[in-house]
Structure 1
Amino acid sequence: MNPDVAADLKDLSATLAGVEAVMDLEKLRADVAELEEQAGLPDLWDDQERAQQVTSQLAYKQSDLRKVTELRQRIEDLEVLYELAEEEGDDSSVEEADAERAKLREQISSLEVRTLLSGEYDEREALVTVRAEAGGVDAADFAEMLMRMYLRWAERHGYPTDVYDTSYAEEAGIKSATFRVRSPFAYGTLSVEQGTHRLVRISPFDNQGRRQTSFAGVEVVPVVEQSDHVEIDEKDLRVDVYRSSGPGGQGVNTTDSAVRITHIPTGIVVSCQNERSQLQNKATAMGVLQAKLLERKRQEERAKMDALKGDSGSSWGNQMRSYVLHPYQMVKDLRTEHEVGNPGNVLDGEIDDFLEAGIRWRRQSAAEAS
């Protein structure tokens, strides 16, 4: 076998071995067996929330186990393919093996990034809020573009999403929207998207066709679980009910079922209008409020630790990415320096490279700070 190819295959095998060690395949197999046992219990669906948790965890862990075992098998098969191709002097088989090696490298690298998600809440599902910031109607339009980008990303990966609330702007776009991404590690993965996103383009809303810069903010928090303790006093809440509405104020519900909750001490406001009943909307909105209060508590604790360490805190939560559509085409992450020249694809949900670069950058920054 070509020495360079042999060295590369050895390197791929070693990288995968590192991933296997972090994922702890023995424990993963035991977890799958235990969850399969729980999923087979006849009374599982008596508690629907618990049942959904068990079945989704089982599907996710089975997928992880299948992924890593398939990658190991493909490396072994690839070694055989190279040897056979060289013995027979078959150039087309060598090309096929080279293409498979490139695919393997990409997929192992992607799985390796997942092993970097070891934060306290990284395994959780994510609650994402997108808000229009400076830039008027262009900012509202940009906020809707970002929301679609994340929903398309989730769709590409087969992750279910629930849109809890969308506040439409008068002319176009949205003022804000909150949605949930139902996948393990969604929080750890998407948390690197938090911050201010900037769009530069010829405004479709400007009669004179001038270039416009607009901004939208992204907030990502982990979904709360039963084990989380978030104290909320009912006296601290103001609950308003109203009719759900669609774009342009069009009524989509004839009853006052939408719920807006204001947490008076912090000023945090959450809404939900996607459920059928006022009771369901209130329960969902309370879940979002708990998640935001939990995140606020974490940030306060982090700020205290940073102050004790004499650290000014990380700056990655501010302006973090530019999307330029005019006078040239580019999307650039200002923290990682990762950039691409196809904003159309990025805005259609192709953001995995940005996510991976962000996760690696955050891990490196944390290592340098410690």
Structure 2
Amino acid sequence: MATTDFASELKDLRTTMESVRQVTDLDRLKSQIADLSEKSAAPDLWDDPEKAQEVTSSLSRLNSELERITGMDQRIDDLEVLVEMATEDGGDAETLAEAEKELVSLRKAVGELEVRTLLAGEYDQREAVVTIRAGAGGVDAADFAEMLMRMYLRWAERHGYPTSVLDTSYAEEAGLKSATFEVKVPYAFGHLSVEAGTHRLVRISPFDNQGRRQTSFAAVEVIPLIESTDHIEIPENEIKVDVFRSSGPGGQSVNTTDSAVRMTHIPTGIVVSMQNEKSQIQNRAAALRVLQSRLLLQRQAEEQAAKKALAGDVKASWGDQMRSYVLHPYQMVKDLRTEYEVGNTSGVFDGDIDGFIEAGIRWKRAAERDEA
């Protein structure tokens, strides 16, 4: 068994952390914290509850970010002390094993921090709205859409990220026609934006009585959650609103009144449906928020397309099939853009997708650098 070169490993960790500190700009971060701390101490802060919530939430997030970085530096220092204790006086196998375990944990944690520094896009810091739609493949596609929804909700649960399901449209036999949910944590959009695209599932269909292999598809859309500062104004005469009765499982008051809302943006044809809240007013507010978010992302995409056209960029965008989930005749999940793959398909469907997300972020940023 090869001996770990702790000196080299510690040096690499410190080099990476130096890059993280440079990108993060700790002086600017501390200045922002000081400014928000002053605002949070103002006696009239809660005269405007919405503004107060924004200040306190931002302060908490920035403090957590600072503590995460400074805490990582301390962990590296502590590991160095542990290694010294393990190697003095001929070596201590138990302490050395503890150092090895901490090194593995630190590599993962520092790698996650490094990936965070790559999230520098205009909307990467935003919360995310994720929509999953069943594609080709009939009932298998609807079942696959439900599997993907559970996968992302389990991923969020693993990290302690709050989520809120906004809309679910159930298929007739099994699964989902579509579903929309929010991931309410900063940088959710930056992380999940690399999940957007067409996902493919290959398996023996549990809905085919002849046991044949079936290929099915589902589309994942990820948009940044709108903020009050974005100024996406939509004239009322550009919106058509229909109300209808919610369908599928739900509380008694959910599916016995015309509380569901379908909102259509007439100029673009974008349609948003919301039915998971109990009141029509709540569903209308949620639908408007998601519609504004989609228009915001569309505006950004149009601006980027214009820039590429001016630059004469003829490179293709991400392919339709960005990831394959194969359950038969072998077990493997593979991202077709990054080549990242794992054999533990059950783990992936249970939310273990950090490796895919991190590989996707690194791939996306590398592609952007090549285009620059």
For 1:85, the equivalent position in structure 2 comes to 86
Are 1:24 and 2:16 matched, yes or no?
A: no
Q: What corresponds to 2:65 in structure 1?
A: 64
The Cα shift of 1:274 comes to 2.5
C-alpha separation in 2, matches of 1:151 and 1:42: 39
Tell me which of 171, 177, 180 is aligned to 1:178: 180
Q: Equivalences for 1:1-370 in 2 at 5 Å?
A: 4-41=5-42, 43-88=44-89, 89-247=91-249, 252-316=254-318, 318-370=320-372
- Cα separation, partners in 2 of 1:214 and 1:44, compared to 1, 3 Å: farther
Shift of 1:48: 4.1
Deviation at 1:266, TM superposition (A): 1.4
Q: Write the distance in 2 (CA, Å) between the matches of 1:250 and 1:123.
A: 37
Structure 2: where are the runs of 5+ without partners?
none
Q: Which runs of 5+ in 1 are unaligned?
A: none
Q: CA deviation at 1:334?
A: 0.1
TM-superposed CA distance for 1:55, in Å, is: 3.2
TM-score, normalised by the number of residues in structure 2:
0.94
Report the alpha carbon displacement of residue 27 of structure 1 after superposing the two structures with TM.
2.4
Determine the C-alpha separation between the residues in 2 that align with 1:200 and 1:47: 53
| Percent of matched pairs sharing the same residue | 65
For residues 196 and 122 of structure 1, do their structure 2 counterparts lie closer, same or farther at Cα, with a shift above 3 Å needed?
same
Which moved further from structure 2: 30-39 or 117-126?
30-39
State the TM-score, normalizing by the size of structure 1: 0.94
Instruction: Tell me the CA shift for residue 215 of structure 1.
Output: 0.2
Q: CA deviation at 1:37?
A: 3.9
Separation of aligned partners in 1, 2:248 and 2:108: 41
Task: Note the C-alpha offset of 1:111.
Answer: 0.5
Alpha-carbon contact 1:169-1:248 (below 8 Å) kept: no
Look up the equivalent residue of 2:150 and give its one-letter code.
Answer: R
CA separation in 2, counterparts of 1:142 and 1:349? 14
Q: CA deviation at 1:46?
A: 4.6
Classify 1:24/1:206 alpha carbon distance in 2 versus 1 (closer, same or farther; 3 Å): same
Distance 1:231 1:36 in 2: 32
CA displacement 1:131-179 (0-9 Å, x = unmatched)? 0010011101101111111111111111111111111111111111111
Q: Which amino acid aligns with 2:74?
A: Q
Q: Which amino acid aligns with 1:268?
A: I
Partner amino acid, structure 1, of 2:77: E
- CA distance in 2 between partners of 1:166 and 1:251 (Å): 16
Select between 222-231 and 131-140 the one with higher mean Cα deviation: 222-231
CA distance in 1, matches of 2:173, 2:251: 11
What do the CA deviations read for 1:285-305 (whole angstroms, capped 9, x no partner)?
111101111111111121111
RMSD, matched Cα:
2.0
Tell me the matched-pair count: 369
Distance of 2:250 and 2:47 partners within structure 1? 42
Shift of 1:44: 4.1
2:207 partner SS = coil
Partners of 2:276 and 2:50 in 1: CA distance: 18
One-letter identity of the residue aligned with 1:295? L
Structure 1 residues 279-323: Cα deviation after superposition (integer angstroms, max 9, x where no partner)? 221111111101111111111121111111111354226210000
Tell me the secondary structure at the aligned position of residue 253 of structure 1: coil
Structure 1 CA distance for aligned equivalents of residues 291 and 280 of structure 2: 16
- Separation of aligned partners in 2, 1:16 and 1:369: 27
Is 1:241–1:257's contact at 8 Å kept on the other side of the alignment?
A: yes
CA pair 44-259 structure 1, distance change in 2 beyond 3 A? farther
